[in-house]
Amino acid sequence: DGGITQSPKYLFRKEGQNVTLSCEQNLNHDAMYWYRQDPGQGLRLIYYSQIVNDFQKGDIAEGYSVSREKKESFPLTVTSAQKNPTAFYLCASSSRGTSGPTDTQYFGPGTRLTVL
Amino acid sequence: DAKTTQPPSMDCAEGRAANLPCNHSTISGNEYVYWYRQIHSQGPQYIIHGLKNNETNEMASLIITEDRKSSTLILPHATLRDTAVYYCIVRVVNQGGKLIFGQGTELSVKP
């Protein structure tokens, strides 16, 4: 099956600890994205990558870091510098990372992070 | 900031058409309108998108006004499984074509 996987589905961490969220895709997409969702809100862009070994900050990148060493993987690290890390984190991918009509973004199932 | 406004909630009877409106009065000429839906605690699911022509696929129809300032998503025969939050999104051309989500419309399909 082609798709985007995120693991784990639920994650609990103590305050002050860094935590890494996994995102893998087997769609052969060039572009990958990380969004954050807070209760009752829409998604906000954290980071995105349009090609391997390159990534850009989104609208709320502070307190987060990413890497893109492989085309199929785009892990997100939530650092202790992130003031309010408890949220639902969603990974997405698209063919080329453009706004073109055939370049639809598809989402993974999400990881719910709770910092205690 | 979201470039779209939607009613916060709507109800629809099972088997009837669900018509979800969206205003996007500041949309630029090369920006597409996308619709996604999200069932609680799941990732958003792509539904349909369009630029200025009406579009239809196996899930829904999208009607965009001639001035492109508003659109309507139509689910022709709503089922209980269509209960979800529906997001109307204007996709920007920068930042990798990011999606700017508003708060969406919570659609409740009732038997």
Mean pLDDT, all residues of chain A: 92
A87-116 residue pLDDT tens: 999 999 998 877 677 788 999 999 999 998
Q: Looking at residue B92, what DSSP letter applies?
A: P
B95–A112 C-beta distance less than 8 A? no
For residue A48, what are the contacts with CB-CB under 8 A and spacing of at least 6? A31, A32, A33, A34, A55, A56, A58, A97, B95, B96, B98
pLDDT at A1: 54
Residue B14 has pLDDT above 90, yes or no: yes
Q: How far apart are alpha carbons B6 and B103 in whole angstroms?
A: 8
3-state DSSP assignment of residue A89: strand
pLDDT at B77: 95
Q: Which of B41, B43, B97 is facing A107, going by the closest CB pair?
A: B43
Q: Which of B46, B91, B103 is facing A42, going by the closest CB pair?
A: B103
Which residues of chain A make contact with B98, given a CB cutoff of 8 A?
A: 33, 45, 48, 58
Residue A2 has pLDDT above 70, yes or no: no
CB of B53 within 8 Å of a chain A CB? The answer is no
